[in-house]
Structure 1
Amino acid sequence: MDDQNKNLILATALSFGVILIWFLLFPPPETVEDPNAPAVAESTEAGTPATAPALSTAGTTAGAATTIEPTAAADAPRLDIATDRVTGSISLLGGRIDDLKLNDYRETLDEGAPIVTLLSPNGEPNAYYALYGWAPGAGLTLDQVPGSNTLWSVESGETLTDETPVTLSWDNGAGLTFRRTISVDENFMFSVAQTVENTGAGTVSLAPYGVLARYGEPEDLKNFFILHEGLISMADGELAEVDYDDMTDYSYDQREGAAAEVTQVESEGWIGFTDHYWMATLIPGGDAGFKSVSKYDAARDIYQAEAVMRTLTVAEGETAEANSQLFAGAKEWATIRTYQNEGGVTGFLESIDWGWFAFLTKPIFALLHWLNGFIGNMGWAIIGLTVILKIIVFPLAYKSYASMAKMKELQPQMEKLKEAAGDDRQKMQQSMMELYKKEKVNPAAGCLPILIQIPIFFSLYKVIFVTLELRHAPWFGWINDLSAPDPSSIINLFGLLPFAVPDLGFFELFSLGILPILLGISMWLQQKLNPAPTDPTQQMIFAWMPWVFMFMLGSFASGLVVYWITNNVITFTQQYAIMRHHGYKPDVFGNIKASFKKKQKEDAK
C-alpha cells in the first residue's frame, strides 16, 4: 500500500478514533439523587463577606454569618418582577433577588414543560439568590447596617418591570437611612443602586457588597471535562474558572468558618456562577476596584461569590452611593456581546466556555449565528457553515487531491521500483523518494484535509455542546434538537413499528438513528473513490472504519452529525472532480462491485 494511504489511516485512526472513543466511554454522567443524603438545613443563611484587608484607609469589618427562621423567610412580603423575559419576585427580607424564572426557556421539549428557574429562595431545594448589604466599618456595629435579615420597606414602585424600578428603604434608628433602587432592562441585567444618608452625629465608614449564594451543587451539573460549570470571574482582564469541587479545597478562613479565596481587583471585573446555559454574575460599577471573594462553607454546603466594594466614608449630612449590576439569565451570545461592547462589561463574552480552540470556536460560532439569522434555521445554517469552511480550505484540498491523482498515475512506476528493489526496503524507499522528487509529488499531501478537519471538528463540537443557541434548536421533521442525538431508532424501524424505544443505557449506541446511518454510508462511498488496498489487514481497517464511526458518532449531537455528512458529501464531490481533472478517473461503481465480489469469495471459502 502506498505511503499516502498509510498516512490517511494513521491520521484518521489515531486522531479521531482515540478522541471519539474517549467521548463514548466518558459521556456527561447523569446526575443521580441520593435518597439517603441529608437535606441542606433550611434554617441556614449565607453570611456577609469575609474579613479581608481594608480597601481604603478606613477599616472594613464584615459581620458573622446570620440565620433566619424558614417560616419568616417564607412569609416575608415580596415585590413582583414582571418583564417579557423574566418573572419572579424580590423578598423584602434582606431585599434579596431570590425568585427568577426565564420565560423564553423550558426545561425540556415536552409539551407543558416547566419554565427554567434560575434563582430560588432559601428553604427551597438548591436555593440560589443574590443578596446586597453594607459591611460595617469605623463607628458602626453589625446591627446598624442592613444584612440578610433586614426587613426593608417599599418606598416607591409596586412591580419591577423594564420600565418601572422599585426603591426599598431601611432606617437604622441611629441616624442612617439606607435605600436600594433596583431596575432591570429588557433582557437579564439588573441594576442595583445602594445609598446611605447620614443624618446623625459623626462620621461613619462602611463598604457596600453583593453576594451570590448557592446551596449545594446544581442538580443538573454535567460534570463533563469539555464544559466549565462553577465559579467564574474576571479580574483586570484575567479570567478565572474554578469547579465546585475545587472550591472546597480553598484555604480555611478561621473567622468565618469557611474556605475562601480573595482577589483584589484594581479596576474592572466581575464574579459569579456559570451553568451550562445560564449564569448569575455580580458586576461592581465604576473603575474603583473591588475585593473579589469566593467561598465554600462546608458545614452548610453553601458556595458563595462576593464583590466587596471600596469602603466609603460618610460625614454628617452627607449621602454616599454605590452602583452595581447583576446579570441573571441565559448565556445568549448576542445579549452578552451587547453587554460587553455597549455596556462596558469587560471580557463578558469569555463567560461562554470557548475552550482551547477559542481562536476557532469564536469565529465559527459568530459565522454560524449570522447564518442562522440570515437563513432562519440552525440546521441549514450548519450546512451553510460547512460549505463556507470547505471553500476556505479548498486550495489545500485541491493540492491534496491533485497529488493523490498524480500518485495514482505513478502507480505502475512504483510497482516496477518495488519489483526491482526486491526485499531491500531501504533501496525501495530511496527509489520512491527520487520518483516523488522527480515528479514533484508529496505523498503526505493526502493527509492535509484530514489534519485540517481535526481542529474544525473539535471546535464545532465545542460550539454545538456549549452554546445556548443550539439548545432545543430544530432542523426539520424528527430533528427537533440539534444539540441532542438523533431521536429516531432502527429498533422500531424509525417509527414505523408501534412502540417506543426502551432505555438501553450504554447499549443505546446500537439504537442508530437515520443521521448516523447516512453518515456511515457517506464515509463508505467516499472510500470507494479508490480501490481497496491489497494488504489484508489494511483492507479490513478500511472496510470497518465507516461503520465504526457510524456507531461512535451515533450518540453525538445531531448538529455535529449533520456537519459531518455534509462535509463527506462535499469532499466526495471535490475529490472526484479534481482527480478526474488531473487524469485519474475514479471507478466508484467498479470499486463497490469489487468489494462485494471479494466478500462473496471469502464467504465461499
Structure 2
Amino acid sequence: MDDQNKNLILATALSFLVILGWFFFFPPEEPVVDPNATSTAVTQSDGSAVLPPASPSAAPAPAPVTTAQTRETALAENQRLKIETPSLSGSISLTGGRLDDLSLSTYRETLAPDSENVTLLSPVGTDAAYYALYGWAPSGALTYEQVPGANTQWTLAEGDVLAPGAPVTLTWDNGAGLTFSRTFSVDEDFMFTVTQKVENATGTAQRIQPYGIVARHGEPEIEGFFIAHEGVVVMADGVLSEIDYDDMPDFPTVAREAASAEVTTVTETGWVGFADKYWMTTLIPENQTPFTSVVKYVPGADIYQTEARLQPVDIAAGATAEVTTRLFAGAKEWEAIRTYEASGVDRFIDSIDWGWFFFLTKPIFAVLHWLNAIIGNMGWSIIVLTLLIKALLFPLAYKSYVSMAKMKELQPQMEKIKEKAGDDRQKLQQEMMELYKKEKVNPAAGCLPILLQIPIFFSLYKVIFNTIELRHAPWVGWIRDLSAPDPSSILNLFGLLPYATPEPGSIFFIFSLGVLPIILGISMWLQQKLNPAPADPTQAMIFAWMPWVFMFMLGSFASGLVIYWIANNVITFTQQYTIMRTQGYKPDVFGNIISGFKREKKPASDKK
C-alpha cells in the first residue's frame, strides 16, 4: 500500500474519529429551564391552543399566565370519557371534546418493574400540555360563540368507554339552530378516527370550516442529537418536511395568525404533526381532500402548534355536513406504520427518521425485523445481519485481503526503493508503480471495504438509535436494553465491587468501560494486527492507538451498535486470517506489529 492510499485510509479514519469525538466530548446543550418560571401563557380562557381564524381578523388574544397543576389535578377538573385499548389508555375531556390524556400501555419509562407507562398526551394546565383539539371555525355571520371551541361543554350521546369496535359520540347544540356531533373511534394500535358532523336547522345556509389541531405548550424535552429528528413532520403531496422546534419562532409573522407560521397547501394527500424519537401525534385528513397544513409558534403563549384546516363547508338550510379525519397517537412501530401506509396514508413510513442513507437504513431495518421475527432476539439478529452484510461484501473483501497480503510481502522491496530514492518523490512514485505493475498488485484495493463500511455503520447506527423496536430490547445477561450503552463498568469490576456505575455525563463515565467496549477494543486490535503497518512512524503510532481510543469513545454508544461492530471485527478477522492462510501466509497475530507474518513461501521477487 503506497503513501497516498495510506493517507486516504488515515484521513478517513481520523475524520470518523473527529466526528465521534466531537459529539462525545461536546454533546448538544440541553435546554435551560427556569425553575422559578410558571407554566406557559395561554390563548383561550382555559389555556388551550389558538383557534384558526375564520377571517383576516386576529385570533383571540392571550389570557394571563396560569400556575402549573399536577396531572391528577388537571384531569379531575373536567368530566371525562375513558379510553381503553390493548395499546392505549386515557380519557377524552368533555370540556372542548379534547383528546388530552393518553398513555401507552405497552411501553414503560424505564426498565424498572414498577416504572410507569409512557405518557404521550397531557391536559392543559400541566407543565407540558400536549393534546389534540377539533372544531369548526366560523364564517359569514357566525361567531366563535356559535361554534364549538376549546371550552364547549359536550354531552355524551352514545357509548361510555372508547374501545376498538366501540365508538363514542359527543353532541352540542348551540341554541341557534346548529347541532354539532363528534364521533371518536379507535383501532387496536394507535389510530383514532374523528368524524365531525353538523346539522343546520337555522332556516338559512351556513358556512363553516372544519379543522384539527395538535398543540404543545412549551418546547418539550428532547435528546437534541443530530442522528434523530424531534419536532414537526409535514407530508404534503409526497414531499416530506422536518422542522425543528428551534426553527419555528423564526417563521414569518402572520398577523391574522397572531403567530409565526408556515402555511402549506395540500391538494391530494398529506399529514402533519409532532414526532418525538419514538412517539408521534399526527393529523391525517382523508385522501383526495384538499387542506391547508399550518405549522406555527405563538410567542406570547409559548405554544407550538400544527393544524389541518379543511376546505370551508356550505350547509344548506335543513342539510347536514360531515367530515372525517384520522389521528395517529402512539409509538412509531415499523409494522403498525407500514400497515397504515398500506391502508392509504401516503409515505407514512417516512415518519420514522431514516436519514440521508434511507436507501440503506430501510432495507437494513426490514432485514433486521425479519430476522428478529425468526430468531426472537434483536441482539442475535444484529449478529446474523452482520454475517449477511459481510457475505454480501465478501467478493470485494477477498480481493482486498489478497491485495493486502501481497502488499505485506512487498514491504522489504518497498523499503529498499525508499532508501534508494531518498528525497526524490517523483522517482519513488515511478519505481513504486513499476513494482505494483510487475507484481500485479492494486494498492487501492484495501481501501474499498473500509470506505463501504462507513455508510453501512452510520446506517445501522441510525436504525439502532431511531427505531423503537430496539428500545428496552434485551440480548443476554446484563444487556437488557440494546438502545442504551453497556451498563457494566470496569470501575466497579463489572459489579463485583459494591459501587454504582457512573452516570452518563459525569467525568468518570468516560473511563467507565463496560464489557462490550473492552471486547470491541480487543477485536479492533486483533484485526489491525493482520494489516500492513504504515512505514511512517507517526502514522504507525496513530493506527496503534486507534483501537483503544475507539474503545473509550464507543463505550457510550448503544449496545446494539457495539455488538454489530464486534461481530463485524470478528468476522473480518476470521475471513482475513483464513484467506491469508490459503494464500500461503501464516499470520503471527501476537508477533511484532510491523513484521506481523512468518513466511511459508518464497518472496514474490524470487518467483520466475
**Deviation, structure 1 residue 28:** 5.0
**CA distance in 1 between partners of 2:12 and 2:580 (Å):** 21
**CA distance in 2 between partners of 1:308 and 1:550 (Å):** 52
**CA distance in 2 between partners of 1:527 and 1:8 (Å):** 16
2:187 counterpart letter in structure 1: D
**Deviation, structure 1 residue 27:** 2.9
Decide whether the 8 Å contact of 1:94 with 1:149 is kept in 2: yes
2:421 equivalent in structure 1? 421
2:124 equivalent in structure 1? 122
Decide whether the 8 Å contact of 1:46 with 1:66 is kept in 2: no
**CA distance in 2 between partners of 1:161 and 1:340 (Å):** 22
List per-residue Cα deviations over 1:382-424 (Å, max 9, x = no partner).
1111111111111111111111122223334434433443443
1:140 equivalent in structure 2? 142
2:51 equivalent in structure 1? 48
Aligned to 1:589, the other structure's residue is in SS state: coil
List per-residue Cα deviations over 1:330-379 (Å, max 9, x = no partner).
011111111011x2010111111111111111111111111111110111
Aligned to 2:492, the other structure's residue is in SS state: coil
Decide whether the 8 Å contact of 2:55 with 2:139 is kept in 1: no
Identity of aligned residues (%): 67
TM-score, reference length from structure 2: 0.92
2:433 counterpart letter in structure 1: M
2:21 equivalent in structure 1? 21
Instruction: Find out whether 1:393 has 2:396 as its counterpart.
Output: no
**CA distance in 1 between partners of 2:413 and 2:593 (Å):** 26
**Deviation, structure 1 residue 591:** 3.1
2:186 counterpart letter in structure 1: V
1:408 equivalent in structure 2? 408
1:58 equivalent in structure 2? none
**CA distance in 2 between partners of 1:249 and 1:436 (Å):** 58
Cα distance, 1:231–1:276 mapped onto 2, change above 3 Å: same
Task: Answer with 90-99 or 401-410: which moved more.
Answer: 401-410
Task: Answer with 366-375 or 581-590: which moved more.
Answer: 581-590
2:300 equivalent in structure 1? 299
Decide whether the 8 Å contact of 2:58 with 2:256 is kept in 1: no
**Deviation, structure 1 residue 146:** 0.9
**CA distance in 1 between partners of 2:5 and 2:51 (Å):** 65
Q: CA RMSD in A?
A: 2.3
Decide whether the 8 Å contact of 2:263 with 2:293 is kept in 1: yes
Decide whether the 8 Å contact of 1:45 with 1:66 is kept in 2: no
**CA distance in 2 between partners of 1:199 and 1:150 (Å):** 20
1:270 equivalent in structure 2? 271
**CA distance in 2 between partners of 1:255 and 1:501 (Å):** 54
1:282 counterpart letter in structure 2: L
Decide whether the 8 Å contact of 2:407 with 2:532 is kept in 1: no
Cα distance, 1:292–1:267 mapped onto 2, change above 3 Å: same
Aligned to 2:587, the other structure's residue is in SS state: coil
Aligned to 2:81, the other structure's residue is in SS state: strand
Aligned to 2:256, the other structure's residue is in SS state: coil
1:299-378 correspondence runs (5 A) = 299-341=300-342, 343-378=343-378
**CA distance in 1 between partners of 2:412 and 2:254 (Å):** 77
Instruction: Find out whether 1:544 has 2:549 as its counterpart.
Output: no
**Deviation, structure 1 residue 74:** 4.7
1:85-234 correspondence runs (5 A) = 85-218=87-220, 220-234=221-235
Cα distance, 1:233–1:530 mapped onto 2, change above 3 Å: closer
Decide whether the 8 Å contact of 2:41 with 2:302 is kept in 1: no
2:242 equivalent in structure 1? 241
Cα distance, 1:580–1:19 mapped onto 2, change above 3 Å: same
TM-score, reference length from structure 1: 0.92
Cα distance, 1:206–1:592 mapped onto 2, change above 3 Å: same
Instruction: Find out whether 1:454 has 2:454 as its counterpart.
Output: yes
**CA distance in 2 between partners of 1:579 and 1:565 (Å):** 21
**CA distance in 2 between partners of 1:593 and 1:453 (Å):** 25
List per-residue Cα deviations over 1:174-204 (Å, max 9, x = no partner).
1111111100000000000111111220111
**Deviation, structure 1 residue 51:** 4.8
Cα distance, 1:72–1:418 mapped onto 2, change above 3 Å: closer
**Deviation, structure 1 residue 542:** 2.5
Decide whether the 8 Å contact of 2:404 with 2:531 is kept in 1: no
2:190 counterpart letter in structure 1: F
**Deviation, structure 1 residue 21:** 1.0
Decide whether the 8 Å contact of 1:31 with 1:222 is kept in 2: no
List per-residue Cα deviations over 1:496-548 (Å, max 9, x = no partner).
11221344713411110010000111111112224655543233223211111
**Deviation, structure 1 residue 14:** 2.4
Decide whether the 8 Å contact of 2:54 with 2:209 is kept in 1: no
1:166 counterpart letter in structure 2: V
**CA distance in 2 between partners of 1:391 and 1:527 (Å):** 20
Cα distance, 1:119–1:73 mapped onto 2, change above 3 Å: closer
Cα distance, 1:315–1:73 mapped onto 2, change above 3 Å: farther
**CA distance in 2 between partners of 1:520 and 1:269 (Å):** 47
**CA distance in 2 between partners of 1:248 and 1:51 (Å):** 23
**CA distance in 1 between partners of 2:167 and 2:225 (Å):** 40
List per-residue Cα deviations over 1:207-237 (Å, max 9, x = no partner).
110011110011x311222221111111111
**CA distance in 2 between partners of 1:513 and 1:582 (Å):** 37
Q: What is the count of residue pairs matched by the alignment?
A: 586
Decide whether the 8 Å contact of 1:296 with 1:302 is kept in 2: yes
Decide whether the 8 Å contact of 1:229 with 1:274 is kept in 2: yes
Cα distance, 1:329–1:62 mapped onto 2, change above 3 Å: farther
**Deviation, structure 1 residue 286:** 3.4
Task: Answer with 23-32 or 353-362: which moved more.
Answer: 23-32
**Deviation, structure 1 residue 33:** 3.8
1:81 equivalent in structure 2? 83
